[in-house]
Structure 1
Amino acid sequence: MFEPFEAAVAFTPLILYLICLAAIRVSGKAWVTTGGRDTAAVLSAICGLVVVGPMELFFPKATAYLLGPWVWVPLLLLYFLFGCLLIINSRSKLVVYGRTSDALFSALVRATNAIDTTAVVDHEQHQVYLPQVNAHLRLDATPGHDCISVLAFEPALSDAFWRSLRIHLKKEIRLTSPPYPRRGWAAMGLAVVMLFWLIQYAAEEPSRMVDGFRDWLIR
């Protein structure tokens, strides 16, 4: 289905993403990031698939005749700008990997108390209200999963609030325990299998890898 070079371009970013994400979950550590950074990581993971898919399908051959290999600069810049547009227009939130909803909510309660001592907690709905900030926070989670989003009902909370919440949440989440059994083994196994297949596929005929790279640049 893919030539060796195309397979390397398509799957290398995805494999690296899966390995990093699985390593965090298997190690028992928690990773707290923003929604924009999480979206950027996903876009980086699928960039290879986009290059060998839509970019190849709608490749501007006339422009490539004029620019040569430099035609990839505007194409990749267009994808970068599209990613920036998605991130800018995405909803503000925090994303946490490596903790279940119960463990994360206990850390969230302590983090919000550090920001607003009058915070009102709803344990049944996994929601917290901060009167001084006028913010209602909730967890967007599936029971048993260890990838959880912290969302706000208000769409226009300041970046300073989210920055403060992230700092306090990272501090408090260190006091929680990782889920048992650990998640991430399936993703790690899939990434290792994909990496082994990719190396074996590329090593079978190295000349095809070189030819594929040459054909990819020179149209």
Structure 2
Amino acid sequence: MPADEFLPDPLHLCIALGPLAAYLIVLGGVNLRSRPLVVSGPRDLAALAVAVSGLVVAGPMELFMIEGAAQFWGPWVWVMLLAAYALGVVLLVLLMRPRLIVYHIQLEQWRPVVAEVAARLDPEVRWAGDGLVLPELGVQLHLDAVAITRNVALVSSGPNQNLEGWRRLERELRKALARVRAPRNPAGMFWLALGLALALTVTWQLAQHPGAVAQAFSEMLRL
């Protein structure tokens, strides 16, 4: 049996890998920067949702498509499905607790920065291990680090959080990190190479099978 029979058609392969390739390229670039990057929890989740959106479209959405609805609504059925996906992501963003993610920094380098900013924002700041309480800001959090990827997350502890306090903390951390230099993360080369490989795969498929891609696209939209 030819190996091609185990692969999806070129269109679905491109849809599945395209957004993921872009995400990995950006992730690799972030880890090769000379400065850390602070991202809020909602933005990080939204970026991840975009990265896997192609897999969702080419997988579950296509697999569980109700054919009757597709024939009735035509291309508009995809608009409704993508809108439902976007609304689901928005709902997750609204339900998630506050958090900040710092890419491309190690915990040993990050902790003094947090301590300095926290002491400046709230003189009553208290530490307990990796936990941090800023009573005047209404912020309670703990540090969660992933050494391999050099990412550190500030995760809220408990449901009672002041969103404005988190915004102030994020702004001050951005300013403080502008003065911090971090060595390039070797993992950044891996993410970048993987993203470029996926992007080249997408480009190759589009260039090699333009007719098949156009036909599959028409069938997908029920045109």
* TM-score, L = length of structure 1: 0.91
1:112 aligned residue (109, 118, 124): 118
1:49 aligned residue (41, 44, 55): 55
Structure 2 counterpart SS, 1:53: helix
Whether 2:183 is the aligned partner of 1:147: answer: no
Quote how far apart the aligned CAs of 1:121 are.
3.9
Quote how far apart the aligned CAs of 1:24 are.
1.1
Quote how far apart the aligned CAs of 1:131 are.
3.7
The aligned counterpart of 2:170 is: 166
Structure 2 counterpart SS, 1:145: coil
1:202 aligned residue (206, 211, 218): 206
CA distances 1:96-120 after superposition (whole Å, capped 9, x unpaired): 1111112221111122122112323
How do residues 76-87 of structure 1 correspond to structure 2 at under 5 angstroms? 76-87=82-93
Query: Which consecutive segments of 4 or more residues in structure 1 shift more than 3 A?
Result: 133-136, 179-183
Q: 1:69 to 1:135 in 2, by over 3 A?
A: closer
Report percent identity of matched pairs.
29
How do residues 1-219 of structure 1 correspond to structure 2 at under 5 angstroms? 1-121=7-127, 125-133=129-137, 135-179=139-183, 181-218=185-222
CA distances 1:51-108 after superposition (whole Å, capped 9, x unpaired): 0111011102111111111111111111111111211111211111111112221111
Distance in 1 (alpha carbons) for counterparts of 2:148 and 2:22? 25
CA distances 1:173-209 after superposition (whole Å, capped 9, x unpaired): 1222214554411100111111112212221122111
8 A Cα contact 1:5 1:209, kept in partner: yes
Unaligned runs of 5+ in 1: none
For the aligned residue pairs, the C-alpha RMSD in angstroms reads 1.7
Structure 2 counterpart SS, 1:178: coil
Unaligned runs of 5+ in 2: 1-6
8 A Cα contact 2:97 2:156, kept in partner: no
8 A Cα contact 2:138 2:165, kept in partner: no
8 A Cα contact 2:21 2:198, kept in partner: yes
Structure 1 counterpart SS, 2:74: helix
Distance in 1 (alpha carbons) for counterparts of 2:185 and 2:49? 29
Structure 1 counterpart SS, 2:101: strand
* TM-score, L = length of structure 2: 0.90
CA distances 1:125-156 after superposition (whole Å, capped 9, x unpaired): 33333243354332111335322110232322
Q: 1:139 to 1:185 in 2, by over 3 A?
A: same
Distance in 2 (alpha carbons) for counterparts of 1:172 and 1:58? 48
Q: How many residues align?
A: 217
Structure 1 counterpart SS, 2:32: helix
